[in-house]
């Protein structure tokens, strides 16, 4: 931005520099390569000015100024380091070390601690003030993270992050003065509190006061200088949040959000409980070598060659025996576009499969049918539009369960922009903040949305329609309170000039799609967003659902409509299959091969061949955003277990053995093919 903003001339440590007006002395110093230590300051958070470590001398004033909250002035003369300043910083640091029990030897954060680093930097090797600490509580009620108040320096970063980034507003200061304690809600334990476990507090905590319960001790993970970090993205839900992976010895130690990022993403670079914690969970035993079912019915490890040969033979045989419908290919929408493209081509063009579908095919079909009923081709709205909306209606969706960052963004927009949010359906995390809540009962969804459509679009103008709407509302048998809420929602929808609708395909059950249709219709009637975009955000169940659907992996026709398959290739990405309908479909097959990172426990009795593949974190690939408009590259972060081949290599080997020439000889070819289809 080389605009006509007049720069300000200031002097830092005797050096005259030109800086932007309005920035802090700290920013000015950092822009000019001058180091000022900080503790309570965090670039992604509002300035606090509490710790006083960053004090500097301004125009020789007898009072030192905290550089993080002191704006530059024309001609200001700043000294960032002299004996007096260093002494003041040391005193502060001594106060902090004397305040609580900062015992580095037993701290899980040792080696990755800003307080510790600062003590080294300022060469504090003893305390001149007596230690005054009492014993403070430690809260380990959460499975994700722990709070040890004995290591807290009350910098308030967590409090600000909880409010400004995640919008949860759970953390705050309790008590006064030296009795200050970071508290959750009204001094609840973490589990009893309304904490949403996003862990942003933990990421910004400069000490070991909030630490990860997944991570191992310093003794194991070593000093942070020994770690490799990989910047990539989180493929868990389609928001493609930038993520920074810290790795040591091929083990992911932690995943951080990219909080330093500017405001280009409205979520401000946070991660959610899924992307930060849940992905580090193992959900079964890793499959490291192919397994075949023996004559005695048990699964035993076998060589890659044998497993691939057998698979190719059986698939070819099934095709021969029963043309077309013989083979079904079923893939997880957690796979990258590259893996999915290859899988689709192998199953379709290569093996002539009668059915290719994804695990979330039912969702796709509902959306697909609704889209077919539209008057023109339309796009879905992006979740990034949430802050701009003046009303948000959430129907059936529970963003906290599927796309937690969406729920964070909604919470923040309620506070920051005073946006009205109406919720139809269950949703605990937004409960205290939403303007409206209406229950969504099974069987009622369709009726309710239709009634809302009628009332909201003809509010007070069309008597006949109003009467129809009233009739529908009567049919719903809403309580008096709920009916009032319903009318208020309808009025709000009707009055909103820039509303957004957030929903899922299959409001209650996958089969019930009429409510969804009505909602699409309602959003259509509220006018389009620029670029032929419907005011509708559809939350999808898997990280790359949009990609998979766009690539045609999901079947438009109901599976099985072209006849029952006798062989199936199930391509999992790290999930365990628990859907009873799917399990039913998979029983009684002649041949089932499962390609999966884990041993698929629920299929252990059915599968004939198990082929190991890497987890998402162990291979490269592109993912497509929730609204299907963006594609992001997810880098490989760690190596797969020894002996596990990349997905594309597995598919390639099967293609070779089945005599199919997909046209991809190298990984680059696969990438290009996927890129071409995604239009990127």
Partner 1 sequence: MGNKGRKTIIVCQGTGCVSSGATPTYKALEEGIRKAGLTDIQMKLTGCHGFCQRGPIVIIEPDGVFYSGVQEKNCEEIVESHLKNGQPVEGLFYKDPATGQPIATYGEIPFYANQERIVLARCGHINPEVIEDSIDSGIYRAAPRVFWEMPPAAVIEEIKKAGLRGRGGAGFPTGVKWGFCANVEADQKYIICNADEGDPGAFMDRSILEATPHQVLEGMIIAGYAIGATKGYIYARAEYPLAIKRLGIAIEQAREKGFLGRRVFGSEFDFDITIFQGAGAFVCGEETALIGSIEGGRGMPRTRPPFPAVKGLWGRPTVINNVKTLATVPEIINRGAEWFAGIGTEKSPGTAVFALTGKVANCGLIEVPMGTPLRKIIFDIGGGIVDGGRFKAVQTGGPSGGCLPEEFLDTPVDFENLAKAGSIMGSGGMVVMDESTCMVDLARYFLDFTQKESCGKCVPCRMGTKHMLEILEDICEGRGEPDDLSKLMELADAIKEGSLCGLGQTAPNPVITTMKYFRHEYEAHVHEKRCPALKCKAMLQYHVNQDACKLCGTCKKNCPADAIRGDKKKKIPFEIDVDKCIRCGMCHTVCPVGAVVKTSPGIVNDHEEAAEAAN
**Of residues 95 and 227, the one with the C-beta less far from partner 1:** 95
Rounded distance between C-alpha atoms, residue 663 and residue 647, angstroms: 16
**How near is the Cβ of 40 to partner 1 at its closest, in Å?**
9
> Do the beta carbons of residue 124 and residue 90 sit within 8 Å?
yes
What are the E-state strand segments in 41-105? 55-58, 65-66, 77-79
Rounded distance between C-alpha atoms, residue 196 and residue 278, angstroms: 13
**How near is the Cβ of 674 to partner 1 at its closest, in Å?**
48
**How near is the Cβ of 106 to partner 1 at its closest, in Å?**
23
- The residue behind tokens 């003369």 is 77
**Of residues 92 and 341, the one with the C-beta less far from partner 1:** 92
User: For residue 190, what are its two tokens?
Assistant: 């973490």
**How near is the Cβ of 614 to partner 1 at its closest, in Å?**
48
**How near is the Cβ of 70 to partner 1 at its closest, in Å?**
7
Identify the three-state secondary structure at position 248.
strand
> Do the beta carbons of residue 342 and residue 670 sit within 8 Å?
yes
**How near is the Cβ of 130 to partner 1 at its closest, in Å?**
7
**Of residues 84 and 676, the one with the C-beta less far from partner 1:** 84
Supply the DSSP string of 408-440, one letter for each residue.
HHHHHHHHHH--EEEEES--STTTTT-SEEE--
Rounded distance between C-alpha atoms, residue 555 and residue 518, angstroms: 23
**Of residues 54 and 671, the one with the C-beta less far from partner 1:** 54
**Of residues 177 and 295, the one with the C-beta less far from partner 1:** 177
CA 587 to chain centre: 34
**How near is the Cβ of 55 to partner 1 at its closest, in Å?**
6
**Of residues 173 and 371, the one with the C-beta less far from partner 1:** 173
Query: What are residue 28's phi and psi, to 5 degrees?
Result: -60, -40
**Of residues 175 and 561, the one with the C-beta less far from partner 1:** 175
**How near is the Cβ of 88 to partner 1 at its closest, in Å?**
6
**How near is the Cβ of 648 to partner 1 at its closest, in Å?**
54
Rg for the chain (alpha carbons), in Å? 29
H or E stretch including 645? none
**How near is the Cβ of 409 to partner 1 at its closest, in Å?**
22
**Of residues 98 and 435, the one with the C-beta less far from partner 1:** 98
**How near is the Cβ of 49 to partner 1 at its closest, in Å?**
4
H or E stretch including 182? strand 181-184
**Of residues 48 and 660, the one with the C-beta less far from partner 1:** 48
**How near is the Cβ of 387 to partner 1 at its closest, in Å?**
18
Rounded distance between C-alpha atoms, residue 260 and residue 257, angstroms: 9
**Of residues 161 and 291, the one with the C-beta less far from partner 1:** 161
DSSP 8-state secondary structure symbol assigned to residue 178: G
Q: For binding to partner 1 (CB under 8 A), which residues are involved?
A: 48-52, 55, 62-64, 66, 69-71, 88, 91-92, 95-96, 98-99, 129-130, 132, 153-154, 156, 172-173, 175-180
**Of residues 433 and 667, the one with the C-beta less far from partner 1:** 433
Angle at 531 between CA 525 and CA 532, to 5 degrees: 35
Rounded distance between C-alpha atoms, residue 651 and residue 662, angstroms: 10
Rounded distance between C-alpha atoms, residue 567 and residue 580, angstroms: 19
**How near is the Cβ of 24 to partner 1 at its closest, in Å?**
10
- The residue behind tokens 């409010």 is 163
User: For residue 496, what are its two tokens?
Assistant: 């909103």
**Of residues 64 and 355, the one with the C-beta less far from partner 1:** 64
**Of residues 100 and 420, the one with the C-beta less far from partner 1:** 100
Dihedral over alpha carbons 110, 116, 117, 122 (to 10 degrees): -160
> Do the beta carbons of residue 210 and residue 138 sit within 8 Å?
no
Identify the three-state secondary structure at position 618.
helix
Per-residue exposure over 334-348, b if at least 16 CB sit within 10 Å of its own CB, e if not: bbbbbbbbbbbbbbb
H or E stretch including 591? strand 591-596
**How near is the Cβ of 225 to partner 1 at its closest, in Å?**
28
Of 225, 237, 174, 163, give the one whose Cα is nearest residue 200: 163
**Of residues 52 and 521, the one with the C-beta less far from partner 1:** 52
Query: What are residue 50's phi and psi, to 5 degrees?
Result: -95, -40
DSSP 8-state secondary structure symbol assigned to residue 302: -
């Amino acid at each position: 931005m080389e605009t006509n903003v007049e720069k300000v001339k200031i002097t830092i440590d005797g050096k005259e520099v030109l800086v932007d007006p309005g920035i802090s002395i700290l920013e000015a110093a950092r822009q000019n390569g001058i180091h000022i230590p900080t503790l309570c300051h965090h670039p992604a958070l509002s300035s606090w000015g509490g710790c006083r470590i960053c004090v500097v001398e301004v125009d020789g004033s007898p009072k030192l100024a905290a550089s993080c909250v002191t704006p530059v002035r024309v001609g200001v003369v700043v000294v960032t380091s002299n004996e007096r300043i260093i002494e003041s910083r040391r005193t502060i640091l001594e106060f902090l070390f004397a305040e609580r029990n900062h015992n580095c030897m037993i701290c899980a954060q040792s080696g990755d601690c800003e307080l510790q680093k600062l003590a080294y930097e300022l060469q504090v090797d003893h305390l001149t003030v007596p230690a005054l600490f009492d014993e403070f509580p430690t809260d380990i009620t959460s499975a994700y993270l722990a709070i040890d108040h004995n290591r807290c320096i009350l910098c308030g970063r967590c409090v600000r992050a909880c409010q400004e980034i995640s919008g949860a507003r759970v953390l705050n200061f309790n008590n006064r003065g030296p009795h200050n304690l970071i508290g959750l809600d009204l001094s609840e334990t973490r589990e009893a509190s309304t904490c949403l476990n996003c862990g942003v507090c933990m990421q910004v905590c400069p000490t070991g006061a909030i630490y990860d319960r997944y991570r191992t001790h310093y003794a194991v993970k070593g000093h942070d200088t020994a770690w490799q970090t990989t910047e990539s993205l989180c493929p868990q839900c389609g928001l493609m949040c930038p993520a920074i992976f810290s790795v040591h010895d091929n083990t992911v130690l932690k995943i951080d959000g990219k909080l330093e990022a500017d405001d280009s993403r409205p979520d401000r670079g946070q991660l959610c409980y899924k992307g930060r914690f849940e992905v580090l969970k193992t959900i079964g035993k890793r499959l490291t070598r192919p397994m075949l079912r023996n004559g005695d019915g048990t699964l035993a490890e076998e060589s890659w060659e044998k497993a691939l040969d057998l698979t190719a033979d059986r698939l070819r045989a099934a095709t021969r025996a029963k043309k077309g419908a013989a083979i079904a290919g079923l893939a997880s929408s957690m796979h990258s576009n590259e893996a999915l493209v290859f899988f689709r081509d192998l199953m379709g063009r290569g093996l002539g499969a009668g059915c290719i579908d994804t695990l979330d095919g039912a969702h796709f079909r509902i959306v697909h049918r609704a889209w077919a009923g539209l008057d023109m081709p339309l796009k879905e709205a992006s979740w990034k539009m949430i802050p701009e909306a003046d009303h948000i209606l959430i129907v059936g969706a529970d963003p906290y369960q599927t796309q937690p960052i969406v729920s964070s963004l909604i919470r923040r927009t309620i506070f920051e922009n005073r946006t009205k949010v109406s919720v139809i359906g269950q949703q605990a995390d937004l409960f205290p903040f939403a303007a409206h809540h209406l229950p969504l009962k099974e069987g009622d969804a369709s009726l309710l949305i239709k009634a809302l459509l009628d009332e909201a679009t003809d509010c007070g103008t069309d008597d006949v329609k109003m009467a129809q709407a009233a009739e529908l509302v009567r049919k719903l048998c809403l309580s008096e309170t709920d009916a009032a809420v319903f009318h208020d929602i309808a009025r709000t929808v009707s009055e909103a000039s820039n509303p957004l609708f957030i929903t899922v395909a299959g409001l209650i059950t996958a089969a019930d799609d009429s409510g969804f249709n009505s909602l699409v219709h309602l959003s259509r009637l509220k006018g389009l967003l620029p670029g032929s975009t419907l005011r509708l955000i559809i939350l999808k169940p898997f990280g790359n659902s949009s990609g998979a659907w766009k690539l045609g992996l999901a079947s438009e026709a109901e599976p099985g409509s072209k006849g029952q398959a006798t062989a199936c290739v199930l391509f999992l990405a790290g999930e365990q299959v628990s859907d009873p309908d799917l399990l039913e479909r998979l029983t009684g097959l002649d041949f089932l091969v499962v390609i999966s990172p884990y041993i698929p426990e629920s299929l252990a009795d059915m599968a004939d061949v198990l082929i190991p593949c890497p987890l998402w974190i162990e291979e490269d690939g592109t993912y497509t955003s929730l609204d299907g408009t963006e594609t992001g590259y997810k880098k490989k972060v760690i190596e797969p277990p020894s002996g596990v081949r990349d997905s594309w290599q597995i598919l390639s080997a099967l293609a070779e053995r089945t005599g199919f020439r997909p046209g991809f000889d190298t990984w680059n070819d696969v990438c290009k093919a996927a890129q071409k289809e995604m239009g990127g």
